[in-house]
Structure 1
């Protein structure tokens, strides 16, 4: 079956993936007071031709998204009756434009002709998207790694792309919309990395890097390539991690802004830890510290950067590097410094740092404090974070190999068993 090649071409022209088109249609449906039930499978059925004539509400939403009659999207009514394009409750003289980021539908006047001039998309639309981006960042710092965060961020990227298709905008605003879509997609990428869903993270990276290139925003390009370095580090692919992080470090913003330079160096140190190169780790951390001290704290920067990178995060990346090197005494020192400086809202990072501290203490043979540290991590919600549960699982395995008959091992096993039972 040839499928709906016209819809496929229009999606490519507008920059929609299947998931983004589904979310754009759902946003229009919700704004009209209906439930958004369109999924990737729904869009796939449209593309393959399995569904040749969507439900009338979906047709109206498709018309609003693409600003044309649904028959111009490759759909045909059964028996060729194209007069069924518009449903009775949504006449063609009533266009629906959705500002999805605000969740508000803006109706054109009934006197306006169908499929007339598109609405103007401006800086206020971008600002509404950015306010939602701040919510995603806050959720990540509290919980991190959750599929719901990944899904939410992907949906918001779809909203940003939908605005591109629905309205006219200046070149500057279009660049900002691509930047918003790239930002949301990079958050979806990070949530997938954090949740150990590496295949999904790679797909988000491919999409985010394309959007970032179209935005011309070197700050978001830095974030995406830096995330790619972290992705490959967690996959234990240090050569790829160093190469990706080098792309970030060579961007103009890393040369212009010491805070970006510092983060690039700090993440390089964490990657070098995997290679066992202690000299490179120390050198990178020295460069990161020097750059951080030069950074102007009053300078305006993206919310994703100011929300997480500071001295506490530098210490945390140093902790990761020294753990990888097997320098457990040094790792413990960095862990304590990071925990002392972490902001209260950084709950996910606190749990990860505490789990790393327990590993560093165990590596030195300090069984009792190591077990006490591991047991101090709250069970909900951060104790259920994929990275934390993975580290605690490794902690338990190492503890049993190191001291199988120790009372501290029995204490940990009982605690871990009770924790798992309470989570069922």
Structure 2
């Protein structure tokens, strides 16, 4: 009779990040705690369980498995001698649905009365946090800079850390939890930067950096240091901005993935622009463009990067750099390129780019076009997003300085009075 695979055990192992060898090692340690002598299992023993060649391990081994998982052996798919294994699902059944059903059955067994043992934290717990993180990222791209987004991201980071002490987990799962907490905290940091709350941003940065170190995750280290560079640039510390961005750019991930290299170079260009370094700005932008063209779209990348970095964002950063340099025609060119390619969910970026375009047009003495452009910024961004509000105030001051008694100024004044009333 052909052996039936133990799919419940396979699902549990995948859920908790175990390979055959690592599970064998964990069960050996559990046996040592139970019997005073470490077990002699190896990866082949676990593969026999998964293949169904061993359907009912020895009693001490079963007890060690139950202590380790917090589940009865039957919930892990083992079948007592003399019983028949359940009929396998039909071949045409969706494998993803089958796995979800198995995992759900395991979770139900864990919650059943009489089940003992510590809670086991698994990859599914991390995945649930990441799904909620995706909602925060989406909200940030719609609204940006809001204190509520900052607070939600910080709370999610705390929740990820609380899971560390809620039960047992493999080192792989714990690393994922630390990386997730660091990512959530860095989103809180970015929301604070975007809202010009720089003292809060520094607090989030310190916590995010510590969590990133514990995770060992290169991608999140890059994000935090890259955000730090942006923060220091906004508060007028260009040397610190360059140093922080250099930390991000020197991480191994930028040599492994051209998309990370491209983002680091594009942000370096903005820093060079603020430092009035036209040669460094153009060189960094050329290198950023080349790196982006080399990036393979099919490569796996974190959700925060995929949500915003593309050709449109590169043009947005080029716009910012050329504005700082006073190269207004080139800035306007990149603004139009960015606006034509921005994805619909990037509402915050659309408002920022539109405001910068208005500045570039005004600096070229095209007052009517600049005012018309600025008037298209949505009211919620104009009144509630700190960076956009600040840039529009600067636009208004520059407009009045150029043509204090013109009809264009009157049009602008009427618009801000009537169309941009703060929402109730």
Deviation, 1:423, is 3.6
Q: Map of 1:32-47 to 2, 5 A cutoff?
A: none
CA shift digits 1:330-371 (9 cap, x unpaired): 111110010011111111100000000000000111000000
Residue of structure 2 in register with 1:28 after alignment: none
CA distance in 2 between partners of 1:259 and 1:296 (Å): 8
Unaligned regions of 5+ residues in structure 1, if any? Answer: 1-103
Deviation, 1:118, is 2.5
CA shift digits 1:69-117 (9 cap, x unpaired): xxxxxxxxxxxxxxxxxxxxxxxxxxxxxxxxxxx999956656xxx84
Residue of structure 2 in register with 1:120 after alignment: 120
Residue of structure 2 in register with 1:262 after alignment: 262
CA distance in 1 between partners of 2:368 and 2:323 (Å): 19
2:160 is paired with a residue whose SS is: helix
- The answer to whether the Cα contact below 8 Å between 2:382 and 2:392 also exists between their aligned partners in 1 is no
Q: Map of 1:196-207 to 2, 5 A cutoff?
A: 196-207=196-207
Matched, 1:362 2:362: yes
Matched, 1:318 2:318: yes
Residue of structure 2 in register with 1:167 after alignment: 167
Residue of structure 2 in register with 1:292 after alignment: 292
Matched, 1:401 2:420: no
CA distance in 2 between partners of 1:255 and 1:298 (Å): 17
Taking structure 2 as the reference length, what is the TM-score of the superposition? 0.73
Residue of structure 2 in register with 1:334 after alignment: 334
CA distance in 1 between partners of 2:306 and 2:159 (Å): 24
CA distance in 1 between partners of 2:247 and 2:240 (Å): 11
Deviation, 1:146, is 0.5
2:405 is paired with a residue whose SS is: coil
- The answer to whether the Cα contact below 8 Å between 1:143 and 1:382 also exists between their aligned partners in 2 is no
CA distance in 2 between partners of 1:183 and 1:196 (Å): 20
Q: Map of 1:15-164 to 2, 5 A cutoff?
A: 111=114, 117-164=117-164
1:380 is paired with a residue whose SS is: helix
CA distance in 2 between partners of 1:298 and 1:422 (Å): 43
Residue of structure 2 in register with 1:280 after alignment: 280
Unaligned regions of 5+ residues in structure 2, if any? Answer: 1-106
CA shift digits 1:249-269 (9 cap, x unpaired): 000101110000000000000
CA distance in 1 between partners of 2:256 and 2:402 (Å): 48
CA distance in 2 between partners of 1:365 and 1:223 (Å): 38
Equivalent pairs counted in the alignment come to 318
CA shift digits 1:364-388 (9 cap, x unpaired): 1100000000001111356531111
Following superposition, which runs of at least 4 residues in structure 1 exceed 6 angstroms of deviation? Answer: 104-107
RMSD, aligned CA: 1.8
Q: Map of 1:188-267 to 2, 5 A cutoff?
A: 188-267=188-267
1:166 is paired with a residue whose SS is: coil
Deviation, 1:417, is 2.0
- The answer to whether the Cα contact below 8 Å between 1:351 and 1:383 also exists between their aligned partners in 2 is no
1:130 is paired with a residue whose SS is: helix
- The answer to whether the Cα contact below 8 Å between 1:236 and 1:274 also exists between their aligned partners in 2 is no
Residue of structure 2 in register with 1:39 after alignment: none
Deviation, 1:413, is 1.3
- The answer to whether the Cα contact below 8 Å between 2:381 and 2:389 also exists between their aligned partners in 1 is no
CA distance in 2 between partners of 1:354 and 1:283 (Å): 25
Residue of structure 1 in register with 2:45 after alignment: none
- The answer to whether the Cα contact below 8 Å between 1:331 and 1:360 also exists between their aligned partners in 2 is yes
Residue of structure 2 in register with 1:63 after alignment: none
CA distance in 2 between partners of 1:105 and 1:227 (Å): 42
CA shift digits 1:117-175 (9 cap, x unpaired): 42100111111111111111111111110001000000100110000011110000000
2:379 is paired with a residue whose SS is: coil
CA distance in 1 between partners of 2:108 and 2:333 (Å): 54
CA shift digits 1:183-224 (9 cap, x unpaired): 100000000000110000000000000000000100000000
CA shift digits 1:371-418 (9 cap, x unpaired): 000001111356531111111011001111111011101111121122
Distance 1:422 1:267, change over 3 A: closer
Residue of structure 2 in register with 1:392 after alignment: 392
Distance 1:185 1:332, change over 3 A: same
Bigger Rg, structure 1 or 2: 2
